[in-house]
Amino acid sequence: VETFLEENYAGIDVEILEVTERAGLYEIALNVKSEGQSQRMISYATKDSSLLFPTAIPMDAETATTDPTQQQAQQPPAQDITKSDKPKVELFVMSHCPFGTQAEKGMIPVAELLGDKIDFDIKFVNYAMHGEKEVNEQARQVCIMNEQSDKYFDYLWCFLDSDDYTTCLSEAKIDTSKVDACVTKLDTEFKITEMLNDQASWSGGRFPQFLVHDAENKQYGVRGSPTLVINGQTVSSARDSASYLATVCSAFNNAPEECNEQLSGVSPSSGFGLSGSDESNAAICG
């Protein structure tokens, strides 16, 4: 389990604390370390070690009748976040990082709720850990954000669910000719394909660079996906929507009434797909 997680989720160290039997499975208590922070998590594995489950949902009567959206949100850690009238919120991700997609699923409802009361952007880490498909997808998303921003969340929700950009371009009614022209221009400006093909230029010799938001990455010291920056300050938050809302709203000089809304306190699932949930965690790709 330790080896599998460390090899498939870069940037984390895993230590098994305890293994017990439960309901015909192994219940595994893990200590997951990332960015100097530790988090205890519970996962499950079949006894032949062929399947690993990041989490499990008890099917007892009490749990079955509980509305998951009413579960208590993780309280944001005490942080002295710089305040402003209109907070600038930047979420740095890699498009195919399972923890980045988890963060996006938690944050988008906050951005949709607060609307133009915040200055919100999704930006990309300056190296891509998931190959050519990630480089291409990130260029595509930058162009949709820049030129067809009113359709971006529709596209992104679809992509986070299906990982099928072709279908999502159609469903979100994206003008693909504009996207293609923009991607070509972006590729020339930031040498995206050139650096993808030049392994000598790869970050640490392992991952192609993606420099569209390189200046911001360097300014904030971004080290992985996801990284949340509010008013120029890197901050921590649980990844459910309620926790993200509380964290963002703490950055207002005068919080708007939308900050009193109740969003889901359930941590979204990592990876693609909009159903399910995961244990709250601080794991990153980095």
**DSSP for 43-72, written as a single string:** EEE-TTSS-EES-----SHHHHTS-GGGSP
Which of 42, 58, 74 is the C-terminal boundary of a domain? 58
Check whether residue 14 and residue 131 sit in a common domain.
Answer: no
Task: Check which CATH number belongs to the domain holding 18 and give it.
Answer: 3.10.450
Question: Residue 76 pLDDT more than 70?
Answer: no
- Does a structural domain hold residue 265? no
How confident is the model over 267-283, as a mean pLDDT? 85
How confident is the model over 216-229, as a mean pLDDT? 95
Can you give the pLDDT at residue 181? 98
- Does a structural domain hold residue 20? yes
Can you give the pLDDT at residue 112? 98
- Reported as a single tens digit per residue, the pLDDT across 147-182 is 999 999 999 999 999 999 999 999 999 999 999 999
Check whether residue 174 and residue 225 sit in a common domain.
Answer: yes
Check whether residue 125 and residue 256 sit in a common domain.
Answer: yes
CB 17 within 8 A of CB 30: yes
- Reported as a single tens digit per residue, the pLDDT across 18-70 is 777 777 888 777 766 654 545 556 777 887 777 776 666 656 544 444 444 44
Distance CA(213)–CA(44), nearest Å, equals 38
| b/e sequence 116-149, b meaning 16+ C-beta within 10 Å | ebbebbbbbbbbbbbeeebbbbbbbbbbbbeebe
Which of 58, 80, 102 is the C-terminal boundary of a domain? 58
Question: Residue 286 pLDDT more than 90?
Answer: no
Q: Give how many domains the chain has, as a whole number.
A: 2
Check whether residue 254 and residue 113 sit in a common domain.
Answer: yes
Can you give the pLDDT at residue 71? 41
Can you give the pLDDT at residue 40? 59
Distance CA(281)–CA(141), nearest Å, equals 26
Can you give the pLDDT at residue 75? 47
Check whether residue 236 and residue 129 sit in a common domain.
Answer: yes
- Does a structural domain hold residue 39? yes
pTM metric for this prediction? 0.75
Residue with tokens 């976040």: 81
Check whether residue 26 and residue 140 sit in a common domain.
Answer: no
Question: Residue 261 pLDDT more than 90?
Answer: yes
- Does a structural domain hold residue 70? no
Task: Check which CATH number belongs to the domain holding 228 and give it.
Answer: 3.40.30.10
Parallel, antiparallel, or unpaired: how do β-strands 119-124 and 88-93 relate? Answer: parallel
Residue 58, token pair as written in the block: 């008890």
Can you give the pLDDT at residue 34? 54
Q: What is the percentage of the chain residues whose pLDDT exceeds 90?
A: 67
Distance CA(20)–CA(243), nearest Å, equals 31
Can you give the pLDDT at residue 111? 98
- Does a structural domain hold residue 270? no
Beta bridge partners of 29: 18, 42
Can you give the pLDDT at residue 98? 93
Check whether residue 122 and residue 255 sit in a common domain.
Answer: yes
Can you give the pLDDT at residue 129? 94
- Does a structural domain hold residue 69? no
**What is the domain extent for residue 126?**
88-260
Check whether residue 179 and residue 101 sit in a common domain.
Answer: yes
Q: What is the percentage of the chain residues whose pLDDT exceeds 70?
A: 81
Residue with tokens 């998951």: 68
Check whether residue 11 and residue 97 sit in a common domain.
Answer: no
Distance CA(8)–CA(99), nearest Å, equals 12
